[in-house]
Structure 1
């Protein structure tokens, strides 16, 4: 055996002894502080006996944690995520009680509730000690990372030789927010990738891309992962033929949208070849899925349970302790930040369960997803797509440019650094692509500005009674329903079925600063003429309101034209969709591409009878959200429509120089091309479709999918 190996063995033994010693001291200190935790018999013992009892208990507890704990977690894989996180503490306490009982000299004893506390503290201290001792030991760090996925590596197929690709989605981080955070030093890892360090050039390129009209995760991620976001007009919309409100972050809706996309494209998705989907709304065709909303509505089975998510993370009890402590700290941080924000405007309510929802998104979801990605890389998976929703959740309530959101970006950058470090120890090379699904636009809510909601304004335009006090609308933040899905709680099911009656009131739904108005008792999409005949003042009331930027309706007068849509604005502005190029009218303030986005949405079968986009202040990019959010997205206007794509220079340029990336479907084609570059032989889709979009013919078969037989 060479000298280097002897040194590594000695180093490992030394760290184990040091952790054991610190755990023993911790147990002695806790015995002195907690009256229900004893390390001596009722007759009294010498200091030597007490120390021996502590050493024995600490040693056996450490062995049980290493040997028995992974088996316990594996038996509990079907337990919901947050329940498992809480159950960890009680099981950990049980292991401590067993460790004390195994002592041949029965000196130690602890009350069950005290054992839970003692075990949690000892796990945290042992983990911190081990990490501190190994911080400069690359071999130790590598061995720790490899243990996360050792079982799957041994049982899985041989690792391919080509490089793998990790796609990390920073939910809601716009292009301008990212560049500002880099300039302010909040994201040193991203800065190093772009600008290089220590005389080395940067390794990545940054490319902006423009979202569709519906600038939200449901539309963007479905297009990115499955190649089509056709007929996704907003975050939530009403489907007349089904009598149902579709909500992108409701598990049953997500599953249906994924099914439709697969049927529409004839392909399973971006991740069908040895892929993993982590923390997403949709699976992308991946074999391995964890915290994926579209499978939350299915019956849990061997195929759908999150082995590499929860098991890889909770098999180490120290992980649960650290996450729990961080969770509590994040709840406290939110309470403090919320109290300070009361002095500032704009502001939205941040009480109720929101501190817990925020802590789940910024701590639990982040920790489990990052651990799953690390496990996927160490197992050699070909493609991994993961969504980190922390920034999006905080920015909705604190603002996209605030200090609170900046702190979240710092922690996300540390997650990127951890994943980059893990890639160095993976069995194959990995290329890390970072992207966002949309940005966020600042601004106060429509309700705060005008004292009424969009639904109130619609009721007034229809001549219906308006409540004296405006009611708050639901928030479309993605994390809230992810929490409910993790707890196996039904999500917005009360809104799922709607049984309209003749003369029923209009349904008004919000998607950030995009509003959708549907008349449920009319089976087709109503025309402008039909709406005017039924409610003569409605369209005029909406179009002339200062908080409304423009309306989209169908017009019978233009039914013979290529586009039968009509954009309405203030002071009687009426622009047919086929005339927007020469006269954008109220769309001019929303910038280039707005007309194309509106025309595409108009072609969707489930576009609402009236589409309402709020006004935009071009000076500061502020919009007025129809939901209770001061950082919003979902419509047109401001930074929400400008996302980013951060890609390794080793990959081909995402788009030709001078060209623009537009729409989530184009991002899908770019990512698929990169997978082809990295993983060799490809074959075209089996069922090619020939289509024309905006006058440009294209064939879906021009895209490629990995050849699984290669």
Structure 2
């Protein structure tokens, strides 16, 4: 590595005009080579010894700022290394030093990896540099006898999308695990599961990690008692939802026993946290959550590699969106502004840091790790669930899975990897693109209120947007969506969660009934129920309790849906149970609106600016997957269906008991009387 670094420094000195290794009068080739060797050696020692200390000292710096600062710190180390040369012949301009240091770090990293391929001990030592050094490494003699478990969540990847990707050869690692690769014999089983009505990460991950997603009716909703809007990917809201779940179950979560939570909305009760949104609003020593950052940035070559990949992905997105516009592809949503950078954060920065954190957890021998990779979900929202862009993301996720599998061979304990998703995505154009107005304008029209000619676009529910703001430590509230809504309280508040819409009347303290709504706005419910872009509407009725409204005057009480599903017929089995459960939530909206769904094409109409959406009922969005090692017990019996995130939590907790024994508490029984097994 020293020799390669020396040659690299010589080559850069010959290419870059502001970087020299010889005096103005010239030197012999031997002297120049000796100068390069001394400079490369000093830089290598400083990178190995001083660099980790610098990164640890800067752990309170926001993640993305640290990623940029890496280049300048690395260049500074090179300038120090050149000054250590006793001949005093080498020098470089500060901006040139940054370039030289970046190239040398990248070359050293590639060389080290290549040399380690044939040496398991060297490979393991290199991977250990990614582990959390705040925790003592587990000595071989004290390695745990029980296996650990890694739960890896591919955010937004539906069951059918995964099966199709495997069939087309996009995910060879997954294919091998399922026995569909070149080597015969499966190591994992794959089953679908069905989400609740709110088919989005907030509801699903809260149920999976904490055993309860009670009273999470959507991605965003208005709570009349506090007069606040709750948004699942807002750190303050995520912290409150986690508190409520822990209070309801009386249990800290899935990861309370030596666990780590990486890249998630919620902690799961883990002690080791990185990129966890529910703690992002806190400040203090206990919330540094820097294991992932330190693990990743302690190797300066990682910053170089991630930066180059980041720039490449920004360029790739600009090229793909331009091609889509030129070819006039439909459906299509705007992908300009900051979106290319937000996408690159999700597909590159977040992925790399989370994967590095998982690797560190495995090498530290932790019992349970849960990590969320949001790359596919972010891209599919804007490019479509079956787009070429989304396919490329699946390929990269598979490579990350292969890396984690390789690391497991060098961990101090055996690991079982569980792959799962929190929801799928359903394709389709936006409600606004098809009908020329959004749900908010339709509600205003039904209330007889003026509809503005120029309306504000809805906010995306993608997790990556707020994750970027949290990484930058910017204010977490979405622009135009304050915690307390503005405007006249007599006007309806309309919020969108994918293809699920919520209408609330803020001037009424209780959930309004159908009779009260009709008395105030006689045309509103009829306008919504009969609109061709609306699948069904849920309201409370003083006479019937819950009532599902549809076109042509359909009005089906909730307790009659099994015999007469009415407008729910197209939404498949389990739709009635999901609607009944949500109807019982304390903070369900006055009016719940689910968009139209085409069962033949699987398309829905999103109330947000997304051509791949999730959040309500209809199609692939409600059919994620669970893929587990055959060494674990089957998640469901023959012919049974796995329904609801809370039940998935019970399955995962049962698997942890199979690994670690009675010290893992049993999962609490479902807490909702309405839950149908």
Fold conserved (TM > 0.5)?
A: yes
Any gaps of 5 or more consecutive residues in structure 2? none
Q: Which runs of 4+ in 1 moved over 4 A?
A: 155-159, 196-200, 499-503, 683-686, 688-692
Q: C-alpha distance in 2, partners of 1:542/1:191?
A: 45
Residue number in structure 1 paired with 2:558: 577
- Residue 556 of structure 1 is aligned with which of 525, 531, 542? 542
Q: Residues 427 and 613 of structure 2 are in contact (CA less than 8 Å); yes or no, is this contact kept in structure 1?
A: yes
Cα shift readout 1:186-228 (whole Å, capped 9, x = no counterpart): 0000000001656541100001000000000000000000000
State the match for 1:5 in structure 2: none
Q: SS at 1:557's partner residue?
A: coil
Aligned to 1:325: 308
CA deviation after TM superposition for structure 1 residue 27, in Å: 1.6
Instruction: Compare 198-207 and 155-164 and name the one that shifted more.
Output: 155-164
How far off its partner does 1:443 sit? 0.3
Structure 2: distance between partners of 1:185 and 1:155? 38
Structure 1's 691 and 255: CA in aligned 2 closer, same or farther, altered over 3 A? closer
Q: CA deviation at 1:499?
A: 6.0
Give the corresponding residue for 2:239. Answer: 255
1:12 alignment counterpart: none
- The 5 Å alignment of 1:22-41 reads 22-41=4-23
Q: SS at 1:467's partner residue?
A: coil
- The answer (yes or no) to whether the contact 1:551–1:611 under 8 Å persists in 2 is yes
> Considering only aligned residues, what root-mean-square deviation do their CA atoms show, in Å?
1.8
Matches within 5 A, 1:64-83: 64-83=46-65
1:684 offset after TM fit, Å? 5.2
Shift of 1:695: 7.7
Query: CA offsets per residue over residues 386-436 of structure 1, 9 Å max, x none?
Result: 000000000000000011100000000001111011111111111100000
1:679 to 647, 660, 668: 660
* 8 Å contact kept, 2:257–2:664: no
Which piece of structure 1 moves more, 194-203 or 362-371? Answer: 194-203
Residue matched to 2:467: 482
1:466 matched to 2:451? The reply is yes
What is the CA deviation profile of residues 618-660 of structure 1, one whole-angstrom value per residue up to 9, with x for unaligned ones? 1110000000000000000010000000000000000111000
Which residue pairs with 1:382 in the alignment? 367
Which of the numbers 241, 248, 265 marks the counterpart of 1:264?
A: 248
1:44 is paired with a residue whose SS is coil
Contact kept in structure 2, 1:159 and 1:381, CA below 8 Å:
no
TM-score (norm 1): 0.92
**CA–CA distance in 1 between the matches of 2:664 and 2:274?**
28
Pairwise CA distance, 1:135: 2.9
One of 455, 466, 477 as aligned partner of 1:492? 477
Instruction: Say if 2:306 and 2:349, in contact at 8 Å, map to a contact too.
Output: yes
Q: How does 1:156-175 map to 2 (within 5 A)?
A: 159-175=143-159
- Closer, same or farther: CA 82–499 of 1 in aligned 2, 3 Å: closer
Provide, for residues 279-326 of structure 1, a one-character-per-residue CA deviation record: whole Å limited to 9, x for no partner. Answer: 00000000000000001000131x221232111111111111111111
Question: Does structure 1 residue 532 correspond to structure 2 residue 518?
Answer: yes
How many equivalent pairs are there? 672
In the TM superposition, residue 152 of structure 1 has moved relative to its aligned partner by 4.7
Aligned to 2:136: 154
CA contact (8 A) 2:203 2:216 kept: yes
Aligned residues of 1:206 and 1:646 also touching (Cα < 8 A)? yes
Inter-CA distance 383–643: structure 2 relative to 1 (3 Å threshold): same
Aligned positions of 1:281-430 closer than 5 A: 281-301=265-285, 303-342=286-325, 343=327, 344-430=329-415
SS in 2 for 1:148: coil
For residues 159-180 of structure 1, give each alpha carbon's deviation from its aligned partner in whole angstroms, at most 9, with x where no partner exists.
4321110000000000000000
Structure 2 CA distance for aligned equivalents of residues 646 and 436 of structure 1: 9
Tell me the distance in 2 between the aligned counterparts of 1:391 and 1:155: 33
Please, what TM-score do these two structures have when normalized by structure 2? 0.96
Please report how far the alpha carbon of residue 133 of structure 1 lies from its aligned counterpart in structure 2 after TM superposition. Answer: 3.0
Q: CA deviation at 1:31?
A: 1.8
Q: What is the aligned partner in structure 2 of residue 244 from structure 1?
A: 228
Report if aligned partners of 1:226, 1:262 keep a CA contact under 8 Å in 2: yes
Residue 680 of structure 1: SS of its match in structure 2? helix
Task: Tell me how far 1:147 sits from its aligned partner.
Answer: 3.2
Equivalent residue for 1:651?
Answer: 632
Please state if 1:590 is matched with 2:574. Answer: no
